[in-house]
Every structure is written in structure tokens, then in C-alpha cells.
């Protein structure tokens, strides 16, 4: 289904380091102003880019990228790791939606909202 999601960033090198460190991933495609980061080329990736029009990146109100985890412990670990890398807290890890959804929320270094979650 989803191959990759793209977010705008102010500094491509800072963003590449943040997402590679956060997910223990690598840059698979790098064309200067855009880089695609993930575990493998055939798995979903996140692309970070300096906007083509040269204007400042902005976060959409209500826009968020959610990354699935394998366990509640991994949700907790990703949230803590993101904070240690400079992200800001947007919602501590916890059970939500009638015990069906466990999630945590942060904003990356450019203000993009991220979620880490597991169903169950």
C-alpha cells in the first residue's frame, strides 16, 4: 500500500540523521534536497525534503505520520528515543481507543507530528 511518505524539513542533513538514528535505518535514495530513509528499498520509507519551491516547510494541521510498532515496549522505546534526539512530546505512551490502540506522539525537529502505535 504505502511506499513512502514525504515531509518538508529545514535542514536535510539534520533530518536524515534524526530519522536514521530514530529507526536504525539508512538513506536509500539521496538526491540532495530529498532523501528516502528506511530499512530496505522494498519496505515503506519516510522521505525528507527541502521544499522544491524554496519556501519554508510547514506542518499541516491535522497531518500526522504513524509508524507501527511490534509491541507496547517498542512504542515506549521509540517515543523515548525520539525525545532523546530532540523531538518534543505530543502525548506520552498509553492505551487509547477502548483498549484497542496503544500509542505515543511526538513532533520531530521541524514540527512534523509522528505517532508510534500498536493495535491491541
CA dist 21 to 8, 54, 106, Å?
Answer: 18, 26, 15
**What's this model's pTM, rounded to 2 decimal places?**
0.91
* Tally of domains within the chain: 2
Assign residue 19 the CATH number of its domain: 3.30.720.120
What pLDDT sits at residue 30? 97
Question: How would DSSP label each residue in the chain?
Answer: ---EEEEE-S-HHHHHHHHHHHHT-EEEEE-SSEEEEES-TTS-EEEEE--TTSSPP-PPTT--EEEE-SSHHHHHHHHHHHHHTT-EEEEEEEEETTTTEEEEEEE-TTS-EEEEEEE-
3 and 44 assigned to the same domain: yes
Q: Is residue 76 part of a domain?
A: yes
Q: Is residue 26 part of a domain?
A: yes
Considering only CA atoms, give the Rg of the chain.
14
Rounded Cα distance between 88 and 108, Å, is 7
Digit-coded pLDDT (tens) for 8-59: 999 999 999 999 999 999 999 999 999 999 999 999 999 999 998 999 999 8
CA dist 96 to 47, 61, 109, 120, Å?
Answer: 28, 21, 25, 10
What pLDDT sits at residue 60? 86
Starting at the earlier edge strand, list the strands of the sheet with 113-119.
65-68, 113-119, 101-107, 88-96
What pLDDT sits at residue 93? 98
Q: Is residue 1 part of a domain?
A: yes
Q: Is residue 59 part of a domain?
A: no
Residue ranges making up the domain that contains 7: 1-51
Taking residues 108-119, what's their average pLDDT? 96
Digit-coded pLDDT (tens) for 54-112: 999 998 888 999 999 999 999 999 999 999 999 999 999 999 988 899 999 999 999 99
Amino acid at each position: 500500500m504505502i511506499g513512502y511518505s514525504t515531509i518538508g524539513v529545514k535542514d536535510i542533513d539534520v533530518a536524515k540523521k534524526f530519522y536514521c538514528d530514530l529507526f536504525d535505518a539508512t538513506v536509500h535514495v539521496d538526491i540532495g534536497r530529498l532523501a528516502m530513509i528506511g530499512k530496505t528499498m522494498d519496505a515503506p520509507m519516510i522521505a525528507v525534503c527541502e521544499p522544491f519551491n524554496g519556501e519554508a516547510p510547514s506542518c499541516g494541521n491535522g497531518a500526522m505520520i504513524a509508524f507501527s510498532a511490534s509491541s507496547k515496549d517498542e512504542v515506549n522505546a521509540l517515543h523515548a528515543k525520539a525525545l532523546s534526539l530532540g523531538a518534543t512530546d505530543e502525548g506520552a505512551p498509553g492505551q487509547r481507543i477502548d483498549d484497542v490502540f496503544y500509542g505515543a506522539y511526538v513532533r520531530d525537529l521541524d514540527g512534523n507530528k509522528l505517532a508510534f502505535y500498536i493495535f491491541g
